[in-house]
């Protein structure tokens, strides 16, 4: 079946009339096989779908939006491309709901790095669509949120955020600002730091899996 994004899927081992969904969103320069590598370790009653970002960087690498550099090697994110990807993920979720018996009230986004930034973008823009966000090594990028997002009802949204204190790609200070930002919006969330770089350690995985089971 042709959906808006390429994807890998693991059907739930415990099938109900409708099952919850874990949607995995990879980081810049990766692909849908990356996070899907730990699909077998995720709860058995979920559909696990890993989506491929739409922008092709060649050689099996993809991005949710471009990251450009100026002459002084300052990085700039293409926020317009990010907004397109934000809306594309929303469309993709609708398509999954049409094609699989997924519980529309129990959708969790698990994003790493750029995928975490997009997870926040989708959930804060349309919180009625997403139950949980697990944001790994990312941050909230306010320019990619829908206008008027601050007026949304976030009462049913839960967030687990993790970041490495020695992250060399996305500074931990950015994640700390996002922690404050989520608090100001009144969003129930857990924020944890780990003595790691830009990655997912076994402890991070253990902690977010336990958090997910408590919030499923």
Please report, in tens digits, the pLDDT of each residue of the chain (216 residues total).
689 999 999 999 988 999 999 999 999 999 999 999 999 999 999 999 999 999 999 999 999 998 876 555 566 778 999 999 999 999 999 999 999 999 999 999 999 999 999 999 999 999 999 999 999 999 999 999 999 999 999 999 999 999 999 999 999 999 999 999 999 999 999 999 999 999 999 999 999 999 999 998
With beta carbons less than 8 A apart as the criterion, state whether 114 and 28 touch: yes
Rounded-to-integer distance, Cα 36 and Cα 190, Å: 24
With beta carbons less than 8 A apart as the criterion, state whether 195 and 165 touch: yes
At residue 75, the pLDDT reads 65
Within a domain: 129 = yes
- Supply φ then ψ for residue 122, to 5 degrees: -70, -50
At residue 73, the pLDDT reads 56
Rounded-to-integer distance, Cα 89 and Cα 117, Å: 12
CATH of the domain at 85: 3.40.50.1820
Within a domain: 55 = yes
Q: Please state the domain count of the chain.
A: 1
Buried-exposed string 30-39: b where 16+ CB fall within 10 A, e elsewhere: bbbebbbeeb
At residue 208, the pLDDT reads 96
Within a domain: 2 = no
Within a domain: 177 = yes
> What is the pTM assigned to this prediction?
0.95
Within a domain: 1 = no
Within a domain: 69 = yes
Residue 101 belongs to domain spanning: 7-214
- Report H helices in the chain: 32-36, 79-99, 114-125, 172-184, 202-214
Rounded-to-integer distance, Cα 80 and Cα 83, Å: 5
Rounded-to-integer distance, Cα 62 and Cα 49, Å: 17
Within a domain: 164 = yes
């Amino acid at each position: 079946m042709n959906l808006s994004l390429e994807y890998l899927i693991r059907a739930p081992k415990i099938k109900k009339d409708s099952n919850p969904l874990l949607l995995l969103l990879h980081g810049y320069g990766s692909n849908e096989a990356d996070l899907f590598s730990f699909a077998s370790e995720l709860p058995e009653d979920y559909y696990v779908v890993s989506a491929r970002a739409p922008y092709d960087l060649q050689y099996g690498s993809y991005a949710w939006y471009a990251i450009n550099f100026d002459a002084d090697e300052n990085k700039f994110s293409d926020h317009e491309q990010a907004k397109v990807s934000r809306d594309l993920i929303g469309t993709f979720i609708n398509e999954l709901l049409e094609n699989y018996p997924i519980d529309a009230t129990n959708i969790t986004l698990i994003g790493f790095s750029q995928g975490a930034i997009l997870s926040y973008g989708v959930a804060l823009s349309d919180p009625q669509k997403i139950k949980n966000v697990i944001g790994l090594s990312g941050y909230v990028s306010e320019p990619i949120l829908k206008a008027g997002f601050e007026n949304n009802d976030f009462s049913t949204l839960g967030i687990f955020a993790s970041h490495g204190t020695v992250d060399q790609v996305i500074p931990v200070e950015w994640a700390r600002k996002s922690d404050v930002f989520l608090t100001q919006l009144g969003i129930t969330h857990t924020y944890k730091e780990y003595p790691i770089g830009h990655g997912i350690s076994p402890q991070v995985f253990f902690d977010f899996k336990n958090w997910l089971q408590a919030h499923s």
